[in-house]
Amino acid sequence: MKDLDRLAAPGTPERELLDRLAPESLPRHVAIIMDGNGRWARQRGLPRVEGHRAGIRAVRESVEAAARLELKALTLYAFSTENWKRPRWEVRTLMALLKEYLAKELRTMVENNVRFRPVGRLGELEPEIQESLAHAVEVTSANTGLVFQIALNYSGRAEFVDLVRAATAAARGGTVAPEDVDEEWIAAHLATAGVPDPDLLIRTSGELRVSNFLLWQIAYAELHFTPVLWPDFTTRDLLAAVADYARRERRYGGVVEPGHETGEEADQ
């Protein structure tokens, strides 16, 4: 039973929107490129890091909304392998905010039955951050609800490089044969193994690009771009994206027309 009252109060436009959504039209996995923190701060004459600080509310709200919608997975892009190019102070603040977030939000994750799963080259993060991440993973490991993946020191290409390295090492060791490598094998060896591919990819701040995020996994994701800057992103914006997604017709290269079934049945 979805916790709709806590997601959108009865009588509000968001609740009406939610009540009209058929459960089967909801995405299973939503991925978000959280963008626009710097511009949000600049608009207010504040240092960029204040935008990151303000963005934490939007993270908290999105995780809670995804849990209440009973999505299977939510993946948030928090730090890309390219973000190391930023000023040292900004990188340090982002890491400090992450630690603060984990310390504060762990209880809420447990209460909401959320399983936490960081994805990315975690071994290159500061040991202290690695410890906080490992602790959050451990504390939430028995939870059975939303899988909350946070992409940290992540990029789709780096993930692919790591996969090819693992595959070639396994081939050399004789544990995998070339013919064993198919799409299922690849999906099972990516950082996101075990969760369905994102059905819906949201990017805030009006930028129209994917910036090296989940390149394999978004092959057939529906894309939703919003001009809202990440610190201003609310449950209402998430619901609007989900409602937009629910109206899409997904074809996966096939044909969806009355009388035309897609795939093998069409030939029979």
Minimal distance, residue 35 CB to Mg ion, in Å: 4
Contact status: 35 vs ligand IPE (CB under 6 A): yes
Q: Which of 14, 35, 222, 237 binds Mg ion (CB under 5 A)?
A: 35
The residue behind tokens 């806590």 is 6
Closest CA to 249 of 199, 210, 201: 199
Kindly indicate which of the ranges 33-41, 134-142, 184-192, 256-264 contains the residues binding ligand IPE, using the contact rule CB under 6 A: 33-41
Contact status: 99 vs ligand IPE (CB under 6 A): no
Minimal distance, residue 199 CB to ligand IPE, in Å: 19
Q: Which of 128, 161, 207, 256 binds ligand IPE (CB under 6 A)?
A: 207
Residues 3, 5, 83, 182: which is the catalytic one?
Answer: 83
Minimal distance, residue 76 CB to Mg ion, in Å: 14
Contact partner, 92, from ligand IPE, Mg ion, none, Cβ < 5-8 Å per class:
none
Q: Which of 37, 93, 149, 217 binds ligand IPE (CB under 6 A)?
A: 37
Distance CA 227, CA 230 (A): 9
Backbone angles phi, psi at 211, to 5 degrees: 45, 50
Residue 237 annotated to the active site: no
Residue 83 annotated to the active site: yes
Residue 3, both tokens: 């916790």
Residues 6 or more apart whose CB falls under 8 angstroms from that of 101 comprise: 56, 59, 60
Contact status: 39 vs ligand IPE (CB under 6 A): yes
Closest CA to 32 of 62, 68, 70: 62
Contact status: 97 vs ligand IPE (CB under 6 A): no
- In the chain, DSSP finds a helix count (H) and a strand count (E) of 9, 6
Contact status: 36 vs ligand IPE (CB under 6 A): yes
Burial letters 124-139, b for 16+ CB under 10 A, else e? ebeeebeebbeebeee
Nearer to ligand IPE, 132 or 155 (CB): 155
Residue 99, both tokens: 């630690």
**Residue 121 CB: number of other CB atoms within 10 A?**
16
Per CB under 5 A, residues contacting Mg ion are 35
Mind telling me the catalytic residues?
A: 35, 83
